[in-house]
Amino acid sequence: MRKNLLRLGVTLAAAAGLSLGAGTSFATPAGPGVSGKIISQTTIGNTDYILRQITIPPGQSTGWHYHDGTLYGFVQHGTLSHFDSDCQADGVYKAGHSLTEPSGADHVHIGRNLGKTDVVLDVLYVLPHGAPLSEDAPNPGCDFQ
């Protein structure tokens, strides 16, 4: 399954031709217990492909952030609530659903687990070679973390 997800992500990235904001607030860290484990990674040309499993416990979040490349996610377990920098939900993803996060500082977002069980995601990062997995961003003014 993970090999198929990696192949799918690589294919999608190739098909798409893929390659923070200012403020006085501090970056927001991920909540306690949020963890990530790299499953596989490879570099082709100037692009890093990293497959990672992320676990978000109930009541926790990823913290506000953005990515320097596109991400392709698949929800293995739980329900992920995803919010954009306008403080609006831009998706609720249940087990079995996929999501895409576009790249760039103009796509600041947060993933939250509002449920009672862990959210477990398989995520393919398609990043410029050497880029970090994510870039911290300040809370854009939302009344939640």
Does position 59 have pLDDT exceeding 90, yes or no?
yes
Q: Which of 116, 70, 120 is nearest to 96 (CA)?
A: 120
Neighbours of 63 (CB within 10 A): 18
Which strand (E) or helix (H) includes residue 3? helix 2-16
* DSSP for 9-41, written as a single string: HHHHHHHHT------SSPB-PPPTT-EEEEEEE
* Per-residue pLDDT, 27: 58
Is pTM beyond 0.85? Reply is no
- The arithmetic mean of pLDDT across residues 42-69, rounded, is 97
- Tens of pLDDT, residue by residue over 26-40, are 457 888 999 999 999
What distance in Å separates the CA atoms of residue 15 and residue 53, rounded to the nearest whole number?
24
